[in-house]
Structure 1
Amino acid sequence: MSRNPKSLIAVSVAILASAFLFSCKKQSSPTTGWLYNDSKTGGFEVASTQEQETGPGLVFIEGGTFVMGRTEQDVMFDWNNIPRRVTVSSFYMDETEVRNLDYLEYLYWIDRVFGETYPEVYRKALPDTLVWRDPLAYNEPFVQNYLRHPAYNDYPVVGVSWVQASEYASWRTDRVNEMILIREGILDWDPDQRNENNFNTEAYLAGQYEGMVRKGMRDLDPRGTGERQVRWTDGILLPSYRLPSEAEWEFAALGLIGNTVYERVVERRLYPWSGHNVRSSERKTMGIFLANIQRGRGDYMGVAGNLNDGGEATVPVYAYWPNDYGLYNMAGNVSEWVLDVYRPLSHEDVSDFRPYRGNVFQTLELDAEGNPVPKDEFGRLISRDVTTEENVTRRNYRYADNIGYRDGDLMSSIYFADEDGEDPEKIMYEYSISSLINDEARVYKGGSWKDRVYWIVPGNRRFLDQNEATNDIGFRCAMIRVGSPVGY
């Protein structure tokens, strides 16, 4: 049957015209009938549904259920990672560990913005390069060169405490969101930011930072001036960068998505790859180690002429093969800080949905009119812990500090009100001769260049004070995914 080309063109044009007219038609509320995005009806604005932008350096991690905890025999007899099935939401994680170059960029910005007035901010952010020193080893070249020499630009930053890593993540959030506003033509470059006059995401959203405005958003509120700042409801800005939770890190490290067929995990994993070997079994790479670890006593790099792991200590962050999520060095190179406060039995206590121990619930400090009080000298909004009086009618929580919730300490028990409730001998999580576990003990995961094979198992866990640093602990950042847990 012959078809008239002219009629086909006419039908196509009609379909396109209908689609255009439909898209131009203003949406209305299905519950009230009022028009959205129309100043004549009050100007209630509804942003078009947007897919979350993948932030710089991040890789999408589709969440799901998995068995968290021990997959290897507990040779340390810590009994602190009892297996338990939990669910982790989808999120994003850095493809690699944060590099020396990334951290130097952070230090440069701090010095440029706060250096003249608040030099202590810069000093507080500096990594501890002395972590390389050893009374019986000559490591001074690392002390002098590892952080700042360009030969180590792509190596993971070390000597960074948990507190410093968390501060870096907050700074990164602000720089990424500032760049988004510049890219969208809303703000212009402002290299002269100083002290409290620097871009902070929360301060900007609260109207306490204006910056160099290039073009405001159209304001449909009849009471407005016709232009406004970006709001969170516009869907332009990204959620916060942060350290991953312990469950998120372990889930991402295992990369079980590569062993899943039709909602069934075919084989549990001991390492971030399948099998029980730490050497490659591929023909072209047969025998090469799959992670940067200590192979044995006194063997950190292999034999001259054929250095198996390519580095005497750390190696560049893109060394070795990525796991099934595309993440590099989730087994070796450096161990990594995670968000959680350490408790030996956390796996038994935490929720089975997005498990995490370490919540301290806060709220913004408000003035008498209910607005956030002026930002501090560093450009950040001021927060405070919530009070029990504010939460007296709540069912889900009452107290601000939930770090020790259900951890077995006397303060979490029904006997806390007893006369001997303050007996020091009954307080479990305070510093003592035999224990370093308290509310500042943070979990770190994964093996490092100086660890044996046992510690590269993602289910194993260790802890360190959040203010301390070592030459084998680094970090990477994460970000929650909003909306659908499935990537598009």
Structure 2
Amino acid sequence: MEIGKCCCSAGREQAEAGIDRPHAERQVRQAAKARDIHEMVAIPGGTFDMGTETAEGFPSDGEGPVRRVRVDPFYMSPYAVTNAQFKRFVDETGYVTEAERFGWSFVFHLLVSPETAKRVRSVPQEVPWWYVVEGAYWAKPEGPDSDLCGRMNHPVVHISWNDAKAYCDWAGGRLPTEAEWEFAARGGLERKTYPWGDLLKPDGRHRCNIWQGKFPIKNNASDGYVGTAPVDAYEPNGYGLYNMSGNVWEWCADWFSPGYHRETSDVNPFYDRPTGRRSMRGGSYLCHRSYCNRYRVAARSSNTPDSSSGNIGFRIVASE
């Protein structure tokens, strides 16, 4: 598998040829709204051991070497941006996402209806569990015959990096850097595997929304969810942040590089050299230890800035 690619996400470059790819145009107002700091969590900043060198990691993703990193204080939303929040943005700005402009997005095969499945014309060879579904976008996450009924408090999905950036501009915030994201995800713990510690299920309790069963054939949903979960599902970490592992991948501000830990500063690190792919953190409801245990706090992945799928979302941060 190509470095930086994750088998539980898919990029537009993996879709078969012949699909129209119109140019994405910026469609947001220039004036940003004042952010609601009182609804965000104050992250104290400080120093921490970033990255991992454990056997569970993926060296080709650039998860190490472990190094001491310092980040300044900032604010972070306790939740990923929800469908309700993104709907408000769309209603107020008329923004059209890239999935809508392309006319399609990736949907996991077990989530599409039989009727939609019959109309699927393209499946990426590398990740055949992803269907190219025409008409899938944030408001119709499984295709034209789906809706958001009962899911307004779930994370918005089918959001490209460019879409996430547009929302952040409108809201008066920004996407987190990888260092900010990992510092916040650790919740004050040092060198732990997950936001709550080293055990995936302490006391037998599910602490995140990931794949349960045999991927990609059967998800027994023992954690309560087949697809996305509400943004406030499970217990928060030590900083009061929810679902920093699993549920949906979250875009970060950085360009992705496997050499990240060797090529960025130890103080407020940020990879700003274009590589064609943007970083993602946190894993999703499709991650499973058998093939993609990237729901660990040090794990990294990436995708092209115009890519979207049914397991990619984001959360917003703000500087002090």
- The aligned counterpart of 1:93 is 76
SS of residue paired to 2:96: helix
* CA distance, structure 2, for counterparts of residue 449 and residue 250 of structure 1: 19
Residues 300, 449 of structure 1: 8 Å contact kept? no
When residues 79 and 136 of structure 1 are mapped into structure 2, their CA distance, relative to the original with a 3 A threshold, is closer
Cα distance per residue 1:248-284 (max 9 Å; x no partner): 000100112xx4xxxxxxx53111012x221131xxx
Answer yes or no: is 1:477 the counterpart of 2:308: no
Answer yes or no: is 1:271 the counterpart of 2:187: no
When residues 63 and 310 of structure 1 are mapped into structure 2, their CA distance, relative to the original with a 3 A threshold, is same
SS of residue paired to 2:266: coil
* CA distance, structure 1, for counterparts of residue 48 and residue 97 of structure 2: 41
- The aligned counterpart of 2:134 is none
Amino acid at match of 1:450: L
* CA distance, structure 2, for counterparts of residue 106 and residue 145 of structure 1: 23
Cα distance per residue 1:279-329 (max 9 Å; x no partner): 131xxxxx2211100123144343xxxxx3221111111110000000000
| Superposed counterparts of 1:301-450, under 5 Å | 301-302=220-221, 308-358=222-272, 403=273, 438=275, 440-450=276-286
- The aligned counterpart of 1:290 is 207
When residues 123 and 469 of structure 1 are mapped into structure 2, their CA distance, relative to the original with a 3 A threshold, is closer
Amino acid at match of 1:310: G
* CA distance, structure 1, for counterparts of residue 145 and residue 233 of structure 2: 20
* CA distance, structure 2, for counterparts of residue 69 and residue 335 of structure 1: 18
SS of residue paired to 1:163: helix
| Superposed counterparts of 1:231-270, under 5 Å | 241-256=173-188, 259=189, 268-270=191-193
Amino acid at match of 1:273: W
- The aligned counterpart of 1:142 is 142
Amino acid at match of 2:142: F
Which residue, 60, 68, 82 being the options, matches 1:78? 60
* CA distance, structure 2, for counterparts of residue 145 and residue 324 of structure 1: 40
SS of residue paired to 1:150: coil
Residues 294, 450 of structure 1: 8 Å contact kept? yes
* CA distance, structure 2, for counterparts of residue 315 and residue 94 of structure 1: 17
Residues 213, 220 of structure 2: 8 Å contact kept? no
* CA distance, structure 2, for counterparts of residue 72 and residue 332 of structure 1: 20
Cα distance per residue 1:50-84 (max 9 Å; x no partner): xxx96153111111101111153255441512111
Amino acid at match of 2:159: V
Residues 74, 319 of structure 2: 8 Å contact kept? yes
* CA distance, structure 2, for counterparts of residue 479 and residue 155 of structure 1: 22
Amino acid at match of 2:316: C
Residues 112, 142 of structure 2: 8 Å contact kept? no
> Structure 1 length as normaliser, TM-score?
0.49
* CA distance, structure 1, for counterparts of residue 108 and residue 283 of structure 2: 20
Uncovered stretches (5+) of structure 1, i.e. residues with no partner: 1-52, 112-120, 174-240, 260-266, 282-286, 303-307, 359-402, 405-437, 482-488
Cα distance per residue 1:321-368 (max 9 Å; x no partner): 00000000001111110000011111111111100012xxxxxxxxxx
When residues 336 and 123 of structure 1 are mapped into structure 2, their CA distance, relative to the original with a 3 A threshold, is closer
- The offset of 1:447, in angstroms, is 1.4
- The offset of 1:124, in angstroms, is 4.9
SS of residue paired to 1:455: coil
| Superposed counterparts of 1:173-188, under 5 Å | 173=172
* CA distance, structure 1, for counterparts of residue 202 and residue 298 of structure 2: 22
Residues 177, 254 of structure 2: 8 Å contact kept? yes
Residues 293, 300 of structure 1: 8 Å contact kept? no
* CA distance, structure 1, for counterparts of residue 78 and residue 238 of structure 2: 12
When residues 75 and 65 of structure 1 are mapped into structure 2, their CA distance, relative to the original with a 3 A threshold, is closer
- The aligned counterpart of 1:154 is 153
Structure having the higher strand fraction is 2
- The aligned counterpart of 1:67 is 49
- The offset of 1:150, in angstroms, is 3.3
SS of residue paired to 2:69: strand
Cα distance per residue 1:2-23 (max 9 Å; x no partner): xxxxxxxxxxxxxxxxxxxxxx
Aligned length: 254
* CA distance, structure 2, for counterparts of residue 294 and residue 326 of structure 1: 24
Residues 63, 89 of structure 1: 8 Å contact kept? yes
- Percent identity between matched residues is 33
Uncovered stretches (5+) of structure 2, i.e. residues with no partner: 1-34, 117-140
- The aligned counterpart of 2:13 is none
Cα distance per residue 1:91-125 (max 9 Å; x no partner): 010110001111111111123xxxxxxxxx53658
Residues 99, 158 of structure 2: 8 Å contact kept? no
